[in-house]
Structure formats: structure tokens, C-alpha cells
Amino acid sequence: MRFPIGFTMAQAKHRTKMERSGQKRYPTVIMLEPLYTCNLACLGCSVERHTGKLVDRMPVADLLKAVDDCGAPIVNICGGEPTLYPELKELCEGIIVRGKYIILCTNALKLDTKVFDIIPPSPHLFLMIHLDGMRETHDYVCNRKGVFDKAVEMVKQARDRGYYTYLNTTVFKETNVSEVEDLCKLVDELKANGILISPGYEYESVDKEMFLTKDQIHEKFKAIREFSPRYKINATPMFLEFAAGMRELPCAPWSTVNYTPKGWKAPCYLVEGAGYFESWDEFWNKTNWEYWESRLDDKCQNCKMHSGFEHSAVSEAMKTVGGTIKLAAWSLSK
């Protein structure tokens, strides 16, 4: 299976419950950003996400309130680098006790000192390790030598210790598709649980030269889609068709909401300048979802992010019996 059965079922149950109660829009994932401090300064990362001070981190109680307020079954802990958050154990315990699933997005450098032997493996905890290429590329993107080797070592140790462990890779202009396939092979070699592949988002604060145009995204994802059946890639076939330019989808920014040190961020974690809200109700009711779904905004023109479109890809598939069967077969394979 692509994901453990409990995780897949929790999403399916949530979707059914929301739709039966007549909700057209609802979050399935909350991206929690407890801090904007990081031990790396990667080239494709928005500057504000790795330059914050630890002292400005969010209190655990506020983060758990955000989890409760939005009701999403999946909590993506990112940042910044979440293993630097001193209260990470308390936060994870608070989320798991609520029956939610955690995806801990990390560069892996501190897993041995901040996670192993401190936060035990759990069917509710998935480590999502950032690797943007093989050794030379990843160390270049991370601006530091040795990051790739350390991350690979941490994946091995995490699997030996029984943690669900996934890789997460971003495709940039310079990314060679054969290297993405090498990463997929590495997942098999390391006995990791899968890999998520997304095109990079063009942040305003980052050098534009490294990002793909829409045509380049389509070209690279056509090639990725061709080899995808051989590997444990955790993006649905419909999402890959969308990324390859073979189908259009509306955005569903409300499916992945974002809580940050500045408050709830509208409309999604990628767009700057559309506002932050202190309370959930204000964020949910005041954001013009219809506008952001349309993808007409300039900031959406080149966006093909998993967080915005995977929900729409699944909804589209489930409109037909054939699509539902294809989706179920994909979930159960690998």
C-alpha cells in the first residue's frame, strides 16, 4: 500500500463525513509551522522560512488549538526545521492523542539527537525527509557539503528503528529527470516507504532562475509519469497527469491550510501578500476561496503544487467508477 491502511482510511472517512454533511470545502491537511528557524538555508526555500529566531516560536497550546479548530485528520509539521522546535515531543504527543496523523517534514540532520529515542515510532507518525537530488545536487541545493550523506544515514537508521519514512523531492529547472528516477531507486534500496515529487514553487523572495516554466513542468512530469508505475511514488496518477499537462484541475487551497507564527495564512502556504488571520473563523470565512480556486491570480500561474491540487485530483477521479477503481488500485499497489 502507498500509505498504511489507517492513514488512508482516516482520509476517506473524513472526506465522506464532510461531504455527507454538505461541506463543499474542508481541510484534510493542516501545515503547522511552529518556527521559522532552520539549520540550513536551501536555495529554493523562501527566505522568511529559515531566518526567524527560535525565541519567536509558537507555543504548543496555540498549535494544538489550531489543529482542533480546523479539524483536519493530517498534521504536517514543517517550518523552519521542526526538529529544532524544543517542544516537539509534547506537540507530537498532543496530536497523536487526538487520533491525528503527523507528517514531520525534516532535513533529517538532527533526527539522531532530537527524535530517535525521544519520540517513539508510531503508526501515526511519518518522517518526510527532504532530498532534492543525489549527493552533488542535494548538497548544492542545501548549500552545504555532507547533507546528502547524513540524510541517507538517517533514513537507514529511521527504517531500522521502525519509523515510517518517506522522501520528499522538489523538481527545479536544473533537475535532471534521470536523477529523480535515481531517487526513486534509492527509496527501494533504503527500504523507505515512498517518495513525494513536486515542482518547485516560484517564491518572490528566491532567485527566479531556478524555477520551471509551465511547459518545463509538463515536460519533466511527462517523463516522471512514464517511470512512476515502477516506484513507490506518493502522488496519485491523476495528479501526475495534471503535473504533466494532460488534464486541468481547479485549485483546492482550503484542503491544505497553513498555520504560521503570523497566524492563519491565506490562501495557502505559498502565496505572500494575501493576508494572515488571527482566528480560524475569520480566516475560513473571509478568504475568497472561489477566487483562489480559479487560479487567475498571477501568483498561481505556474503553480502545480501537490498541496493545492491533490484533493482536486482525487475528487475528479471519484466522479467516475473507472476513476475510483484506478485510484483504489493505485492506493493498494506497491
3-state SS class at 82: helix
Report the alpha-carbon distance of residue 62 to residue 45 in Å, rounded: 25
Q: Cβ distance 313 to 242 under 8 Å?
A: yes
Q: Pick from 64, 128, 233, 303: which binds ligand SF4 (CB under 6 A)? A: 303
Residue for cell digits 537507514?
156
3-state helix, strand, coil in the chain (%, to 5): 45, 15, 40
In the complex, least distance from residue 252 CB atom to ligand SF4, rounded to whole angstroms: 8
Does residue 271 touch ligand SF4 according to CB under 6 A?
yes
Does residue 292 touch ligand SF4 according to CB under 6 A?
yes
Name the residue among 48, 16, 17, 15 with its Cα closest to residue 33: 48
In the complex, least distance from residue 267 CB atom to ligand SF4, rounded to whole angstroms: 5
Does residue 38 touch ligand SF4 according to CB under 6 A?
no
Does residue 305 touch ligand SF4 according to CB under 6 A?
yes
The stretch near ligand SF4 (CB under 6 A) out of 113-121, 147-155, 176-184, 303-311 is: 303-311
Does residue 308 touch ligand SF4 according to CB under 6 A?
yes
Nearer to ligand SF4, 134 or 305 (CB): 305
In the complex, least distance from residue 303 CB atom to ligand SF4, rounded to whole angstroms: 3
In the complex, least distance from residue 93 CB atom to ligand SF4, rounded to whole angstroms: 30
Does residue 263 touch ligand SF4 according to CB under 6 A?
no
Helices and strands of the chain, counted as H and E runs: 13, 9
Report the alpha-carbon distance of residue 124 to residue 196 in Å, rounded: 18
Q: Pick from 114, 232, 299, 306: which binds ligand SF4 (CB under 6 A)? A: 299
Does residue 34 touch ligand SF4 according to CB under 6 A?
no
Nearer to ligand SF4, 232 or 306 (CB): 306
Name the residue among 54, 38, 49, 46 with its Cα closest to residue 147: 38
Does residue 27 touch ligand SF4 according to CB under 6 A?
no
CA of 292: how far to CAs of 281, 288, 297, 303, in Å? 18, 7, 7, 12
Output the residue with the shortest Cβ distance to ligand SF4.
308
What DSSP line would sit under 216-239, residue for residue?
HHHHHHHHHHHHGGGS-B-S-HHH
Does residue 270 touch ligand SF4 according to CB under 6 A?
yes
Spell out where 145-277 has E strands. Answer: 164-171, 194-199, 256-260, 263-265, 276-277
The stretch near ligand SF4 (CB under 6 A) out of 31-39, 40-48, 268-276, 283-291 is: 268-276
Residues contributing to the site for ligand SF4 (CB under 6 A): 251, 253, 267-268, 270-271, 292, 295, 299-300, 303, 305, 307-308
